[in-house]
Every structure is written in C-alpha cells, then in structure tokens.
Amino acid sequence: MICKPGNKIIFFSFLLLISSSLLAQKVIKGTIVDAATNSPLEGVTITLIPGNNSTITNIRGKFILHKINNTDSLRISSVGFQTKTIPFSMYSEDTPIGLQLQNILLENITVNTKVGDEYKTISKTDIKMRGLNNSQEVLRMIPGLFIGQHQGGGKAEQIFVRGFDCDHGTDINITTDGMPVNMVSHAHGQGYADMHFIIPETIEEVDFQKGPYNPAKGNFTTSGFVDVKTKNAIPSNTVKLEGGMFDTYRAMGIFNLLNEKAKQKQESWYLASEFAYSNGYFDHPQDFKRFNFFTKYNAKLSANTFLIVSASAFSSKWNASGQIPSRAVADGMIGFYGAIDSTEGGQTARNNFNAQLITTLKDGSFFKNQIYYSNYQFDLHTNFTFFLVDSINGDQIRQRESRNLFGYNGSYHRTSHIGTVQIISEMGMGMRWDLIKNIELSHTKDRYILLNRLAFGNISELNTSGYLSETFQFSSRLSMKAGLRFDQFMNQYTDHLRSDSVFKAASPILSPKINFNFQQSANTQFYLNLGKGFHSNDTRVCVTENGHKVLPAAYSADVGTIYKPSKNLLIHAAVWYLYLDQEFVYNGDDGTPQPAGKTQRTGIDFSGRYEPFSSIYIDLDINYAHGRFIDEIKGQDFIPLAPVWSSTGGITYKNKIGVNGSLRYRWLGNRPANENYSLSAAGYFVNDFVLNYTQKKYEIGLTVNNIFNVKWKETQFETLSRLKNEATPVDEINFTPGTKLAAKLSLCVFF
C-alpha cells in the first residue's frame, strides 16, 4: 500500500502525540500487605494526589500506575484499614507497604467503587461491622437474600433473592475460594449448595453481585453470585466454646502452625476445626452432629510466584421433623413443632482439596492457575405426601449419591494504558467434571427398609468454559467493562434400571455482558449493568431433550446509584429487570422434569448504612420484586413462592471498653404459594440479639434468636398430601416451623 505524504504527516503526528503522553508519565509499582499478618491485600485502592487517577491491587497485593507530572503523592485506602498518604519523595517500590487495621467509620468510606464492583463497599463494611455468628449468617450478609431450612439440620438452606425461589441454589452461583459450592444434577435438587462445610471464623470477606453481569461467573448466575473468601493468614490463635438451649453445643479452634519468621517471608499455615451438636427445638430430637476441619497454607515460592493450598473435611448427620400439613396442627393431631414421619433425616459429607498458583510478571500482569477436587456423599430421607401414593407403607423417599468433582480454573490478568486510558484485561478458561455414582431415588419405609427404586444410575457431566473481559477507565469519571463468556456442557446418563442404557447430550451457550460506571462527584456514582446468564438443568433432563432448550438463558439489566449525602450516611439503590427463558428444572423428589414457562421480574433494591455516632452502626435493606409468568392469563401467572416484599436491618453498637452487640430483624412478606394465589405462604417478622464483651485476650458472648418467641413458618409449600386415616388427599400449605426463642452463651480465647 502506498502512503500519501499527507497521511504520513498525520500518522507520525499521532505517534508523536502518544510518545509525548507516555514520556510525561512514569510507571509506579508497589505491593500492599496487611501489617498484622504480612499477607498481600487484594482490592486496595491506590490514588494519585492531586487528581483522581487510581487503580486497585491484584490478588498478590500488587499495583501499577502511570504517574502524571503534576502529581506528588499516593493515597492508599481500603475498608477496615487506616488510609495512608505517601509522598513520592519517600516512596520505594521495593518495600511493601503495610496497612494497619482500624475500626470502620462511614466517614472514612469513599464512593469510588470500580465498574462491576458496586456491592464491594457494602459487603466489606457489613462483614467488618456485623461479623459472622454462625454459618447461616454467611448468606444473610447479602442484602435482600433470605434463607429457610425445611428439614431442620444439616440440609442446605432454601434461598430466596430477587424474586426467585432459588430452591437450594438453582439460580444463584456460590463459590468458596474459587471452588464451586453448587452441585449440578444433584440427587435432591439442581444447584444444591450446602455451605455447612465452611467454618465461619475462617471467612475473610463475602463478595457478591446481583444479576448475571460478571463474565467470570457461569452456571446458576441468574439472580447473582456469592464468593466466600477464607483468610490467607490469621493474626492469632482462637478457641471458642458455645452452649445453649435445646442441648446446643459447639467447640471451635483455629491455630497458627508457623512462627513469626515464616510470616516475614510471607509464609503462613493454619488449621481450624469445629464440632457442633444440637437436639433442636422440635418435639422429636434432631440429634444433629456436624464436624469440620479446614487447613490453609500460603508460601512465596519466589519473588514472582505464590502458592495457596487448602484442604477440608466435613460430615453431618441428623434426624428431621420435615414439612408438616397445616390441617394436622389445626386439628391437634400434632403440635406446631411436631412430625408426621419422625424417621426422616439424613447424612452428608464433603472432602475438598484446593490449590492455586499465582505467577506475576515484570509488567504487573499475572497468571492464576487453580485445581480443585471434592469427594461428596449425600443420603436423605424425606416424606412430603405421607400416604398419598402408598396408603400402607407411606411415601417416604430416599435420595442418595456419591460424587467425585474435578475442576480447573485458569486466568490471565493485565493492566495497560493507551494514553490516559487504563485497560484491565482478563481472560480465562475453566473445566468442571462431575462423576456421580449410583444417584438414586427410592421408595423406603422407616428410613432403612427399601421398597423399590424409582430412579438409579450414573451421571457424567462436563462443563468447559472460556471468557474474555476488558475494562476501560476512560477518565476519572467514566469506565466500562465488556465481557463475553462461552460454556459447553457434555451430559451422559447411564440408567441402571434400563439395562445400563447410556444416554448423551451436548449443549452450548454464549453469554455477553457490559457494565458502565459514572462518577458524578466524589459522593455520587451511577452504574448500568446489562448481561445474559443461565442455569443448567439436570443431566437426566438434558439427555431426554437431546440437549435442546436445557440451558435457559436469563437477560437482565440494573440501573443503580451509590450515594453518600453526608459523611455518615451511605445509600445504595437500584432498579432492575430480569427475563428468564424457562423455569425448567428437574424435580428430584419425584424423579420427573418440571417445565414451566417464560418469566419476567422487575424490582427495586434499597440499602442504607447510617452512623449517627462512632459507636452506633445502623443498616437497612428493603427489597421489592414483581414476578410473573409471561404466557399465562392474568390471575394464573403468579410464580410460586417468589418473594415480593422483604427487609432486613439492625443496630450494631461498639464502644471503647469492649461492649458490643446488635439487635436485628428479618421481615419476609406474604407471597403466592401457587400460580393463582389461592394459597398464600405467610410472611414473618423475627428479631435476633447479640451481646459481646471483647478484650484483647478473650470474648464473652450471648446470642438470642427469635427474642420475642414468635411462632413463624420458615419454609412453606403447596402440597397435595394424604394422612393415614384420610379418605381423600388435601391440597394445602405444608410447612417447617422456624426456631423458638433460643439463647446461647459463648467464650472465646485469643492467644
């Protein structure tokens, strides 16, 4: 191609302009660590002063910035740590910068979240201020998310969020340290997410986002995702003893295994373990037992390579009262906390191995490679319909499986600049392979008597994926993140009841995302998120449908703001819309597909955080969702159990002498229990109370759940059932009662 003289002048002028811009800049690199543990801090904001050019540290605590000539210092800030300002004349990139912990004050919180991280400020603030008192509190940290236990024991909770009855995880993606919690093609329900293998005291933070907007998150990311991150290092050893009503006991210990010399080399190793027991508040004792063990090792293998390895073991066993019919309570046949089939119950176990290798290059980019493995066992006996099908032996079912889960996640992250535009690039690939042996649905009696098998086979489900994400920081005010994700599923089912016949299917899906963030002022941000997500279906559905229409897509949009009208008030509000191709799931309770039509949901989320005094922290979340089936006639288009109005909130108090505590409430409004709203799932309002006295070496605590001892129904379902002496079945609400007033004392020792 021949270049004309005029074009040459323009071309070389363009090169000169870029060169002049780059020459006016100086690359600044550094590392930020926690001064107490010397472990790297991710997500710390580094800002040039004067000006607003900023970046955040990566998983290794490293950052890279381009200094403009008129800037003279760096401001380093992170929620829960003291802010530092360092003049360039005193800065050395070879020396890690240590940040000291400090009590969180809203006046120190800034409104400058990165695009796609609009919930970071609230999540970090809440977990630092409120803390985690038990494993259930992990999910309750997400504004607008409600959980319900409908077997009272070790079973995963039912999850409600953004107008979804997510069952046990069908429409919410949950991970811990990058390892999936959700179980695909599970014996009990698609996406089953049992988080009881996580010890609360090991949790560093709970990251989340509502909606399907993160390209790194795949299956089940329709209503959003939750990413639990455990501590890389602990500042001290801890022993905790708890005891309370209903024969409730717990012992927990977390211990450092290396000395101070290792900490200086950024090497750490700790272990944690717990044992919990409770008979529960039901008329029939639960005899609930749970054991957990967790260990995590971090090592700096070289100047640029870091290794993180963790392993855990979990087991749980319990008896259950199950879901009971309303008429049995009204007629006095059983009490509010009674049972129809007292032989319900289950046991489960999960052993995990997780390893991550992080390699940083000279330009600040890094590779992250992760492998993980889980061995999982599940065995559950339930009875929802009592004597509807079998009037002699009853309808008790057994759901059982044995699973090996293998996985890999790999990603490359790079920060670069074109002129003054900062570009953060991320590309990744992943593989998840579930091998499920003898997944079973059987008809049983009294838990141990097998009457007949209804479904029995082996499952192989392989999910491979790849994604690309580009974030453009056009200026200090405007940024954009665009991403594209591809997932491929390979499903195989071997049916033992049909002479080991093998059925196969394959399904691909492409998911684009785009997010915008606009910094209106130092105290106001606006964001717009658009994206497509999906939830997969059970392999046993996929093979019968030949892989067609078994990855229902979700299309969603969020418009929101983060606003700080005063130094001690923070507001987060959003209006959202979500369309789902098909609420099409596999019902593990009767072994059949349960196809439903297209749905759409609209809603409003509001969160407020207020600190009238330095010792008082008030949080309030109000959520509204309007969900309907699209193709059904009006009045027959309600989405069963979809939450409508909900709210949580509380007051947290802390003073300088160590007295701290909180008074909290949970309110879930009435919602339809079936498509025509002829049956209603009753709402509830429950209060919980925590009081602690914390000193440097110990903490004494009191926790009281349901302090006003209200009778409430934690989970409810429309169920057609028949009792032993009934001639005809009855369609009504069956429910699991929520906890009575339950008090618990704790003693925690630090050393």
DSSP string, 206-224: EEEEESS--TT--TT-SSE
In which band, very low, low, confident or very high, does the pLDDT at 11 lie, cut at 50, 70 and 90?
A: very low
Q: Which of 92, 63, 54 is nearest to 414 (CA)?
A: 63
Is residue 24 over pLDDT 50? no
CATH (residue range 22-102): 2.60.40.1120
| β-pair partners for 381 | 345, 398
Please report the pLDDT score of residue 172 as a whole number.
Answer: 96
Contact 535, 190 (CB under 8 A): yes
State the number of CA atoms in the 13 A half-sphere of 42 facing the CB: 12
Report which residue type is found at 7: N
**324-371 residue pLDDT tens:** 999 999 999 999 999 999 999 999 999 999 999 999 998 889 999 999
Distance of CA 290 to the CA centre of its chain: 21
CA distance 259 to 243: 32
φ, ψ for residue 360, nearest 5 deg: -100, 135
What are the domain boundaries of the chain? 22-102, 120-750
In which band, very low, low, confident or very high, does the pLDDT at 584 lie, cut at 50, 70 and 90?
A: low
Is residue 72 over pLDDT 90? no
Is residue 2 over pLDDT 60? no
In which band, very low, low, confident or very high, does the pLDDT at 234 lie, cut at 50, 70 and 90?
A: very high
**Measured on CA atoms in the order 654, 656, 657, 658, is the torsion positive or negative?**
positive
CATH superfamily to which 120-750 belongs: TonB-dependent receptor, beta-barrel domain (2.40.170.20)
Contact 510, 208 (CB under 8 A): no
Which DSSP letter does residue 370 get? E
Q: Is 337 exposed, middle or buried (0-12, 13-18, 19+ CB in 10 A)?
A: buried
Give me the residue label for tokens 């050019």.
53
CA distance 209 to 71: 34
Contact 696, 750 (CB under 8 A): yes
CA distance 389 to 724: 11
Mean pLDDT score of the chain, rounded to an integer? 91
Query: Tokens in use for 401?
Result: 């499986």
Please report the pLDDT score of residue 286 as a whole number.
Answer: 94
**600-618 residue pLDDT tens:** 999 999 999 999 998 999 9
Please report the pLDDT score of residue 295 as a whole number.
Answer: 98
Contact 651, 659 (CB under 8 A): no
Q: CA angle, 430 as apex, 426 and 433 as ends, to 5°? A: 165
Which DSSP letter does residue 108 get? G
Contact 556, 576 (CB under 8 A): yes
In which band, very low, low, confident or very high, does the pLDDT at 90 lie, cut at 50, 70 and 90?
A: confident
Those residues whose C-beta lies under 8 Å from the C-beta of residue 89, and which sit 6 or more positions away, are none
Strands 449-473, 478-495: pairing is: antiparallel
In which band, very low, low, confident or very high, does the pLDDT at 592 lie, cut at 50, 70 and 90?
A: low
- Mean pLDDT within 182-203: 95
Query: How many beta carbons lie within 10 A of that of residue 450, not counting itself?
Result: 11
Contact 511, 531 (CB under 8 A): yes
